[in-house]
Amino acid sequence: MKLIWLGHGSFRIETGNLVLLVDPWLTGNPVLPEEQHEAAVANATHLILTHAHFDHVADMLPLARKLSCPIVGQYDLMSYWNEHEHLDTVGFNKGGTVELGDGVSLTMVPASHSSTFGTDQGPKAAGSEVGYILRAEGRTLYISGDTDIMADMDWMGDYYKPDVGILSAGGHFTMDMAGAAYAAKRYFNFKTVIPCHYKTFPILEQSADVLATGLPGVDVIEPEVMVPIDL
């Protein structure tokens, strides 16, 4: 399995014959050069959405049309897009699991954040924010999505036992590096932790040193944009 950071909260995950794009943000992403956009999304088989803020959803509909692949996400928003945008969607909800093919499964779990679209009439609710448990190639990944520390991490760590954590850790909008380290140590038994949702803007944390220091014995990998990580 290869995991490729596209900057911010966006990832490309290659496993078997599948290419999963998690919250692929291209338009306006300051750390993903335009000349790398095509490579970032090439041959995608699924688009996976955690919530509807612009830095996660801005390219979702155009990519679904361009790549002719389904959007996988929270039921309410997926149903709306299927009905009104005439797109192929896979809608499910927290606690549910969908099979993506090649022995890969995706389970929806809670997150603690918000999920809205900006409109001329102000923000509009768009389903709810979520995270995911991804099982592939004998590995179990926890994709936190945008979230703070939450008590639900206790049962998620105990029940799903993920060995890889992809954690939002930039602060201001999500937990920061110290918070992510605390959550990982208290609630999980990760072998590998990959931070995200940081470095993008000056308001966010720029280094994962605090996370690495707080997790001795855990392989904390600071991702580089478009550089594959082998899991």
Residue 199 maps to which CATH number?
3.60.15.10
**C-alpha gyration radius of the chain:** 16
Give the domain extent around 197: 2-230
pTM for the whole thing? Answer: 0.97
In total, how many domains does the chain have? 1
CA distances from 111 to 81, 137, 153 (A): 22, 25, 9
Stretches where the chain sits below pLDDT 50 are: none
Residue type, 170: G
Residue type, 198: Y
Cα separation of 133 and 135, whole Å? 7
> In this structure, what are the phi and psi dihedrals at residue 109, rounded to the nearest 5 degrees?
-130, 165
| Per-residue pLDDT, 117 | 86
User: Is the CB of residue 79 less than 8 Å from the CB of residue 91?
Assistant: yes
Length of the chain: 231
Give strand pairing partners of 73: 91
| Per-residue pLDDT, 155 | 98
List Cβ neighbours of 201 (8 Å cut-off, separation of 6 or more).
30
Cα separation of 173 and 13, whole Å? 24
Q: Are strands 124-125 and 192-196 parallel, antiparallel or unpaired?
A: unpaired
| Per-residue pLDDT, 46 | 98
Structure tokens belonging to residue 191: 């072998």
Cα separation of 142 and 111, whole Å? 11
**CA 135 remoteness from chain centre:** 14
